Amino acid sequence: MAEETETKMTFADLGLEEKVLKALDDMGFEEPSPIQEQTIPMLLNGKDVIGQAQTGTGKTAAFGAPIVQRWDPKVRGIQALVLAPTRELAIQVAEELSKIGKYARIKTIAIYGGQSIDRQIRSLRFGVDVVIGTPGRIMDHMRRGTLNLSEVRMVVLDEADEMLDMGFVDDIEFILKETPATRQTLLFSATMPDEIKRLGSRYMKEPHHIAASPQQLTVPQIEQFFYEVRPAFKTDALCRVLDMENVERAICFCRTKKGVDELVEALQTRGYLAEGIHGDMNQAQRNRVMSKFKEGNVELLVATDVAARGLDIQDVTHVFNFDVPQDPESYVHRIGRTGRAGRAGTAVTFTSAREFGQLRLIERVTKTRIQRKPLPSVMDVAEKQREQLKERLVKVMDDGQLAFYKEVADELLDEYDAEILLAAALKMLSGEAKAPTAPSVDFGDTGAEAGMVRLFLNVGRQQLIQPADVVRSIASQTGIPGNVIGLINIYDRFTFVEVPKDVAAQVVQAMQDATIKGRSVNIEPAKRR
């Protein structure tokens, strides 16, 4: 591919100041996403904006950066209010805003139902600058007089269509009426039903409409599929796919520089030949990585969109979207690197449930079908590794020239059993191969029976947990069959469960953000008392 000379906007070009730029750089963002490029200058100019954007497009930073920049340190009180449909989104937005506001020292708080209201009242009293909350709980605080909105100058309705679907429209209107009329109002929504338009015309001042990627795009005809995985499980999922697919030369795209570094480290630890490339690396470092990749000493190049843009890389067998691209153009651009010159190529995208809408938008704009695939289980990978081991051995057999080894074999066969000998030889052979998908971690003595690891789960009888719940959850999270799960002891407040040693690390990792009977659980190796 020819090097591209097209210059892209930078965050500084959009009018953002040093304190925000520095924070965005720390977060690993290299350049603005399309929605940010369009929205940020308008918001900095004090305009009201209606943005049609899904999760995964960078919409949070699109309103977050202007909130931080427009924040006035001389004013005491809440200066920005973000309304979000769910607790999860409120927390996520609060986290992102506090990262963007790191150098401005902005205090953010997420306020949602289900959390102790007293604690929220204490935090509010302590003084916060930005509140992100679900409409119901915000109303609660307003009724109690524990939320003073008189200094609010920016209100954001995030995922407005979701809030309407959840029946929050009256609450939203009530809250908007209670904020100063001089406020700047922003509305983000994946879809634009009439009710949203009505909200816009009633409560916003000549809002500017911004939509991401309306034009149609064409994509190369290559195999495209996606896996739906929880964010914490993505690295594992990628490893499983790498083990199952015949990946020779691949590019894996991450959203941020930080993401590239973290993924490369995780992959290298697990024995994959991976190298990263991103904007913080100097030319010499990039050249080194690129020549390794070209010589075939690297099977997987992990890159940000920005770093990959200037690279002349052709005929990769696979393109992996470790993060869903922020706009359809970037999807087309990424996957265009495979399937060149009539060769077969595969594009694989990992998506969380929340980013699903963004994937569907990409499908719509590109008029292609991205097929869902079930993630290979640990057992599928193990089976594949077995097959590969057999194939390698048979190939050596077919290649012949074994006279010397036959002599050694004869000598050994005089002394040992043939099956055991072959097994030992296979073990030696697989020892040269890549480390298994999950590094088998030595958890020490957990008090489990031989070959097993005892794990501690922080739920028990009081949470009405039964053995079947534990088995079901572990089996579905990790893909290991329920019948390999060993002894389960349920106590009042906790549970012990034994799992085979070779999958224990995988279980611990996969269960990190799992739920059992709707409760989040904590799982860790048991300590022998």
What is the binding site for ligand AMP (CB under 6 A)?
Answer: 29, 32-33, 36, 55-61, 96, 255-256
H-only helix segments in 71-206: 87-100, 117-126, 135-144, 160-165, 169-178, 194-203
Q: Are residues 97 and 71 in contact, defined by beta-carbon separation less than 8 angstroms?
A: no
CB of 352 to ligand AMP, least distance (A): 10
Written as one string, the DSSP assignment of 328-366 is HHHHHHHHTTBSGGG---EEEEEE-GGGHHHHHHHHHHH
Q: Are residues 328 and 264 in contact, defined by beta-carbon separation less than 8 angstroms?
A: no
The contacts of residue 212 (CB under 8 Å, 6+ apart) are 34, 35, 38, 52, 53, 57, 327, 361
Local structure of 164: helix, strand or coil: helix
The number of angstroms, rounded, from the C-alpha of 35 to the middle of its chain's C-alpha atoms is 19
CB of 60 to ligand AMP, least distance (A): 3
First to last CA, the chain: 61
Local structure of 249: helix, strand or coil: coil
Q: Name the residue with tokens 């696979």.
A: 318
Local structure of 488: helix, strand or coil: strand
Closer residue to ligand AMP (CB): 230 or 384: 230
Closer residue to ligand AMP (CB): 33 or 506: 33
Closest to 492 in 3D by CA, of 455, 524, 464: 464
CB of 207 to ligand AMP, least distance (A): 20
Closer residue to ligand AMP (CB): 351 or 477: 351
Helix (H) or strand (E) holding 250: strand 250-253
Closer residue to ligand AMP (CB): 59 or 318: 59
Closer residue to ligand AMP (CB): 57 or 120: 57
Helix (H) or strand (E) holding 523: strand 523-525
CB of 226 to ligand AMP, least distance (A): 16
Closer residue to ligand AMP (CB): 20 or 455: 20
Q: Are residues 389 and 434 in contact, defined by beta-carbon separation less than 8 angstroms?
A: no
Closer residue to ligand AMP (CB): 145 or 214: 214
The first and second tokens of residue 302, run together, are 């992990």
CB of 212 to ligand AMP, least distance (A): 10
- How far, in Å, CA of 254 to CA of 325, rounded? 9
CB of 98 to ligand AMP, least distance (A): 12
DSSP classification of residue 200: H
CB of 187 to ligand AMP, least distance (A): 15
157 burial type by CB count under 10 A (0-12 exposed, 13-18 middle, 19+ buried):
buried
Closer residue to ligand AMP (CB): 157 or 470: 157
CB of 443 to ligand AMP, least distance (A): 32
CB of 324 to ligand AMP, least distance (A): 8
Closer residue to ligand AMP (CB): 22 or 528: 22
